[in-house]
Amino acid sequence: MTVREAYRGPAIEVQDLHKSFADVEVLGGIDLRVDQGSVVCVIGPSGSGKSTLLRCVNLLERPTSGRILVEGLEVTDPATDVAAVRARVGMVFQQFNLFPHLSVLENLTVAQQRVKHRDRDTAVAVARAQLDKVGLLARVDAAPAQLSGGEQQRVAIARALAMDPDMMLFDEPTSALDPELVGDVLAVMRDLATAGTTMLVVTHEIGFAREVATKVVFMDGGVVVEEGAASDVLSNPRNVRTQAFLSKVL
């Protein structure tokens, strides 16, 4: 039995997380739990620290203080192998971050071969399977510039999934898309949620959060103001700050 198969605790635990840039505190003591197989959507106004929280979980930003555990492993411990942690946590950004000089297929195979040490045939088979899941198998030979924004984001999701992560982080994956392209990306994410993929999603898509989230977390001013079931937070928020935010976006 592997460590991954044996572990039954939370996928992600954030404990009293603080993050400052110079004299500006962006995160002021965050506590958050993401259970395995759950979908946690983080909402809130711009500048509330949502993206910084996500980047700390994947150690793209080093926390100022506090602890982050991924599947029981304290990733904030300086002795932790950061590369090994990132291999277990897929991340999709606002911008697609595809390699412009590589084809769609090559975008999905290069990390598999270099990080996972898969042979070319295996990497291609995995890439094609993931592209099929996001409806883009017919575009394997296209360059990123030949794709729409929505297609590029779906390729980015497929690329993350090709690395066989234990969980997925999404940082406002639809914010850079034209409105008519948002639906296809959200459909892929709905499919992942239905399949039981553990997901931590920073989003402004309230309808998506209402539909698929196991838990909704509202952040403002670098702290968690309110959290709970999607139906409770989005339909009957208790905190006046949550109420004010939702009154503007719904």
Q: How confident is the model over 40-55, as a mean pLDDT?
A: 96
Position 106 scores a pLDDT of 98
Which of 23, 89, 93, 33 lies closest to 224 in space, CA to CA? 33
Q: What is the mean pLDDT of residues 178-185?
A: 92
3-state secondary structure of 146: helix
User: What tokens does 145 get?
Assistant: 């510039």
At 4, phi and psi to the nearest 5?
-60, -40
Q: What is the pLDDT of residue 156?
A: 96
Q: Output the pLDDT for position 86.
A: 82
- Region 148-167: mean pLDDT is 96
State yes or no: pLDDT of 2 exceeds 50: no
115 residue type, one letter = V
Within 10 Å of residue 232's Cβ, how many Cβ atoms? 14
Q: Which residue has the higher pLDDT, 84 or 129?
A: 129
The pLDDT, as a whole number, for residue 154 is 97
Q: Is the dihedral of CA 100, 102, 105, 109 positive or negative?
A: negative
Residues 6+ apart with CB under 8 A from 131: 104, 105, 108, 137, 139, 140, 155, 158
pLDDT confidence of residue 131: 97
Position 3 scores a pLDDT of: 45
pLDDT per residue over 61-108, tens digit each? Answer: 999 999 999 999 999 999 988 888 888 899 999 989 999 999 999 999
Residues 188-231: tens digit of each pLDDT: 999 999 999 999 999 999 999 999 999 999 999 999 999 999 99
Q: Which band of pLDDT confidence, cut at 50, 70 and 90, is reported for residue 1?
A: very low
Cα–Cα distance, 87 to 102 (Å, whole number): 21
DSSP E strand boundaries for 6-147 = 12-21, 24-34, 39-43, 65-70, 73-74, 89-92
Q: Report the chain's C-alpha Rg in angstroms.
A: 18
Is residue 87 within 8 A of residue 94, CB to CB? The reply is no
